[in-house]
Amino acid sequence: MKVLLIEDDHALAQALSEALRDAGLIVETAPNGSEGDFLVRTERYDAVVLDLGLPDGDGTRWLSQWRDDGLDLPVLILTARERWSDKAAGFSAGADDYVTKPFETGEVLFRLRALVRRSHGHSHPVLSSGALTFDTHSGSVTLAGRPINLTAQEARLLAYLMHAAPRTVSRSELSEHVYDRDHEPDSNVIDVQISRLRRKLGSERIETLRGQGYRLVAIETPA
């Protein structure tokens, strides 16, 4: 999961982004609305965490512009404003969820994961593809009930494929959503990591469509 955090409080942004990274997310940050707006329009994210009290304009103004322009990625508002009128303004601007400061990092993480699941049409926290399951809360992966040990990068790659299934995912889409913008891999690196996943899950579970990308295949039997 790749998230953009738009927050002008440097200490808070650093602490939250580090906590989310420790949980396996890719996090990029912006200190104001204009930089966040540029990144939202030029990069691809699975969700945005947006502060309302930004130095260059209220967060709802930026959010309204995104929605007016057809940008429909999930947005979680994060703010110290507790009045219902502020929350109503955020939802009216197009927010998907709202968390007030001070907050528990775990709550932000759970809400982000839920938003991304729902944006892909999944309501349950455990994703399933045949005999393969991925618990988005714990990060645990099982195949026919047997735990599968994955590296952090393999887990991010698998999670994205499972969220997207049965849709085919291109290499460029994987690169944009699963890897940090400053460390985006070439296609060979992705191929290598897909090969490692196939060794652990069974080669038939991840299908390669030449010139298109990869697709997760639901198979009921273990590897």
Q: What is the reported pLDDT for 185?
A: 62
Q: What is the reported pLDDT for 24?
A: 86
2-119 is classed CATH 3.40.50.2300:
yes
Name the residue ranges covered by the structural domains of the chain.
2-119, 126-216
Determine the Cα–Cα distance for residues 41 and 71; give it in Å rounded to an integer: 8
Q: What is the reported pLDDT for 205?
A: 93
Residues of the chain with pLDDT under 70: 181-187, 222-223
Eight-state DSSP code of residue 219: B
Residue in 84, 85, 82, 50 with CA at minimum distance from that of residue 65: 50
- Architecture of the CATH domain 126-216: Orthogonal Bundle (1.10)
Contacts of residue 48, Cβ cutoff 8 Å, sequence gap at least 6: 3, 4, 5, 6, 36, 40, 73, 74, 75, 76
Q: Does 2-119 match 126-216 in CATH topology?
A: no
The pTM for the full model equals 0.72
